[in-house]
Amino acid sequence: MESDGAAGSMLAHVLAAPDQLRAAAGLDLPSLEPASEVILAGMGASGMAARVGALVAAAAGGRAEVHQGYGLPGWVEAGRPLLVAVSYSGDTEETLSSIEDASRLGLSAVVVTTGGAAATMAAEAGYPAVTVPGGLQPRAALGYQTGAVVRILHRAGLGHDPIPALTEAANEVEALAGDGAGPGVALGLDLAEALDGHLAVIYGGSGAAALAAVRWKTQINENASMPAFAGEVPELDHNELEGWTGRPAWGRRTVRIVLLRDQGAHPRVRRRLDLTGEVLEGNVGMAGEVRAQGSGLLSRFFTLAFVGDVASVAMADLAGVDAAPVPLIEDFKRRLREE
């Protein structure tokens, strides 16, 4: 894989994930009142940070719901949750509308951003803001955003102190990166070659691996400018599994599946993932698998996601695609603004 140019620049951001996780552990946070419920609003990579935060809170016995859309759901007026609004750019219109709703309803809120309209709205509403380092594509700043979210949740009384978990995740990802030549990089490059020219389908067991599968999917979409799909075990065993049997010749020729394995998943989920791979053989192509590293949920998620980040950049390189810009998405947003 080339180490210079656009692909090299995006790969450098991928390899910087351990630094982001460590930096997030040292972000300045505001004082927050304890919250029994939290709603996390965010889209795209910011939404992924929100989803990881909700997963961490749930694992620790807290209640946090993710909202990806405009406004806020109807239950918040009676439930009075804390809103954690995450917008890296500060200009995500769906998330801005969530902040606006929270202010109108008199809810407590905290904003994670680099600036933009979100920072302005937070200041006007008297909401605290956590400022993360800017200058990146939002998808290249997942470590900063996730670290900020999980630390805010802890500050609000949901979950354990995440700093040891962030440190473990940084160390495990760093071992996979190995200064750009580690085992995680090598595996990502191998999987990119297996996926090149095929429809990528990523399957993971519920929890960290399922969320990492979504991260793989969106990274392939944005970095490699290619379609990809993600599925979650056990749900896909009740429907999608059958969908690969109708055209096996097409599936073997066109589709390549990656299995994401997490030792922290429920034993029956792990068994289901094994069996899913077994029954699909012959109906689709199998690209390979990735195993989570570390004991904590953050480490398991980020190690699975890291290999996918590498693979997506390598897929862009193989296809001759610039991994950094997303012109169609930017044009779409421009057309919305012009309306």
* Residues 145 and 241 reside in one and the same domain: no
Residue 5 has pLDDT above 50, yes or no: no
Last residue of a domain, one of 105, 134, 161: 161
Give the count of domains, the chain: 2
Token pair belonging to 172? 């495990």
Determine, yes or no, domain membership for 234: yes
Average pLDDT of the segment spanning 39-51: 98
Examine the domain organization and report whether 157 and 207 are in the same domain. Answer: no
Contact 233, 268 (CB under 8 A): no
Last residue of a domain, one of 127, 161, 195: 161
Q: What is the pLDDT of residue 335?
A: 94
Q: Is residue 1 one of the residues assigned to a domain?
A: no
Q: Do 221 and 89 belong together in one domain?
A: no
Q: What is the CATH number of the domain that holds 195?
A: 3.40.50.10490
* C-alpha span between 68 and 288 (Å, rounded): 31
Q: What is the mean pLDDT of residues 254-264?
A: 98
Closest alpha carbon to 40 in 104, 102, 125? 102
- Do 187 and 305 lie in a common domain? yes
In-domain check, residue 21: no
Do 83 and 191 belong to one domain?
A: no
Tell me: do 213 and 285 sit in the same domain. Answer: yes
The letter for the amino acid at 248 is: P
- Whether the pLDDT of residue 1 is over 90: the answer is no
pLDDT tens-digit profile of 282-325?
999 999 999 999 999 999 999 999 999 999 999 999 999 999 99
Which residues, in sequence order, are bridge partners of residue 288? 258
Kindly state whether residues 46 and 145 are assigned to the same domain: yes
**Mean pLDDT across the chain, nearest whole number?**
95
Q: Is residue 3 part of a domain?
A: no
The pLDDT assigned to 4 comes to 42
67 with 182, same domain: the answer is no
- Considering the domain architecture, whether residues 224 and 256 belong to the same structural domain is answered as yes
Is the same domain home to 104 and 180?
no
Are the C-beta atoms of residues 256 and 287 closer than 8 Å to each other? Answer: yes
Task: With respect to residue 103, please indicate whether it lies within any of the assigned structural domains.
Answer: yes
Give the model's pLDDT for residue 3. 41
Residue 58 maps to a domain: yes
What is the arithmetic mean of pLDDT over 106-129?
98
At position 51, the amino acid (one-letter code) is R
What pLDDT is recorded for position 152? Answer: 98
Q: Are residues 178 and 149 in the same domain?
A: no
* Residue 74, in any domain of the structure: yes
Give the up-direction half-sphere exposure of residue 83: CA atoms within 13 A in the CB hemisphere.
35
**Residue 151 belongs to domain spanning:** 26-161
Q: What is the rounded end-to-end Cα distance, in angstroms, of the chain?
A: 42
pLDDT of amino acid 339:
83
pTM over 0.75: yes
pLDDT band at 100 (very low <50, low <70, confident <90, very high): very high
Reading the block at residue 142, the tokens are 């997942």
Strands, sheet with 255-261, edge to edge from the N-terminal-most edge strand: 228-233, 199-205, 255-261, 285-291
Confidence of residue 6 (pLDDT cuts 50, 70, 90): very low
Asked which of 161, 196, 215 is the last residue of a domain, the reply is 161
pLDDT computed for residue 188 by the predictor: 98
Residue 170 has pLDDT above 60, yes or no: yes
Does 98 lie in the same domain as 157?
yes
Question: Judging by beta carbons within 10 Å of its beta carbon (0-12, 13-18, 19+), is residue 267 exposed, middle or buried?
Answer: exposed
Report whether pLDDT(8) > 80: no
